Structures are given as C-alpha cells and as structure tokens.
Amino acid sequence: MNIVFVLFDNVTQLDFAGPVQFLSRLPGATTYIASTDGKAVSTDCGFAIVPNTSFADCPQADIICVPGGHGVREAIANTAIVEFVREQAKAADWITSVCTGSFILGAAGLLNGKRATTHWAYTQLLPLFGATHEEARVVRDGNLVTAGGVTSGIDFALELMALAKGEDVARSIQLALEYDPAPPFDGGHPSRTARPLVEGLKARVYDKAAADMEAAICATLAAT
C-alpha cells in the first residue's frame, strides 16, 4: 500500500505530522512524502520538512493525503501541485485531505457534488468548489475522506485505517501511540466555545484569513 502525502511551502505541520505518524504504521504500507521537486518545504512553525520523493518520481498512491495551511492559497494556483493531485486521484483507492487541504482537492475538481469538511473558519467556502459542507470532524463520501482542522487529522487517520485494514488494526495503533485525548478545556470547536472567544479569534485571525482564501479560490477558478 502506497501512502502519498502532498507537501508545499507554508504547510501546517500537524496537518501532516498527525496522519503520517498513524498511517505509516499500517501493515504493508510505504509512505511517500512528495513535493514538487523533492526539496524541503517550509512549515508554519518555522522549520522545514524534507520529502523523500518528487512528483516526477512518486509512485501511484493507494491513499493520497493533502494537508492544509496558509500555503494553500498559493498551492491552488500551482499547476504542478494541482495536476499531480488530479492524476494521482484517478487511480487512488482513497482521496483525502486535512483542514484546508480540501481546497487543493477542490482545485483539482475532486469536490464537485461531494459532501466534505475543512477547518471551521473556512467551511463556507466549500460550495465554491461545488461541495456541500457536512458538520463533522471527519466526512466520508465514497472514497473521498476530508477532515476538519489540524488535530482532526489523527481522527481521520484512525477511521481510514479501520476502513483499510480493520478496526482491530486501528485500535492497536491507537493504543501503541497512546491516543487517548483528554484536553484540559472543552472548546476545540465553535459549537462548544463561548461566543466572545469565537468572535474574538475570528476578528483577530480568521475573518481576514478566510477572505484571503476566498480571493485566492475565486482567482484560481477564474483562471481555469
């Protein structure tokens, strides 16, 4: 089983690091971390990730996963990235994304008519790619699996492992990696967070970020 992660500059590292830590432990799996030229990509945490393949040398994926991050705005306009995802998806068993990586799937024409999710601050943009937002941490529509923001990538990985290799395998890996979340606060989603906190964060960060993402999506769609 070939698992391919598609990376680009200014990726959110946990969008990638969470799922790859879990999925790489699937029995019989080989993990390929691909960037356009195989060279290091920057993350939003101030360090780089070194892939182990380029798009040209990457084999066909059984599972393709696209993480998100602020770099998505540039990635959806990058023909090499979008074409690589589109071509890989044609023969992949599972087409997946974490957070705003869903918009790269959208740019590749893979969300049209599908149910999907993304980070809560950007869900209103999914219809731009013909998708219907479903309120869930992980959404499966056929062989398309999209996860919400950042940490939901771990939940997505466990669900996908259960689908691919059975629940016992997924449970064993969950135990091995001691994924037993017990956060100190109840409020990782707007529906469970005090409204002033939600509105404050949106005003400081996500109103502009979502507007910038929308502008990038519209520009990409206009160019196609």
User: Could you write out the three-class secondary structure of the chain?
Assistant: CEEEEECCCCECHHHHHHHHHHHCCCCCCEEEEEECCCCCEEECCCCEECCCEECCCCCCCCEEEECCCCCHHHHCCCHHHHHHHHHHHHHCCEEEEEHHHHHHHHHCCCCCCCEECCCHHHHHHHHHHCCEECCCCEEEECCEEEECCCCHHHHHHHHHHHHHHCHHHHHHHHHHCCCCCCCCCCCCCHHHCCHHHHHHHHHHHHHHHHHHHHHHHHHHHHHC
Residues 6+ away with beta carbon under 8 Å from 174: 22, 158
* Residue 81: both structure tokens together: 């990235």
Cα distance between residue 4 and residue 53, in whole Å = 10
C-beta of residue 35 within 8 angstroms of C-beta of residue 16: no
Type of residue numbered 14? L
Q: Is 99 a catalytic residue?
A: yes
Catalytic residue among 45, 65, 99, 218: 99
Which residues carry out catalysis?
A: 99
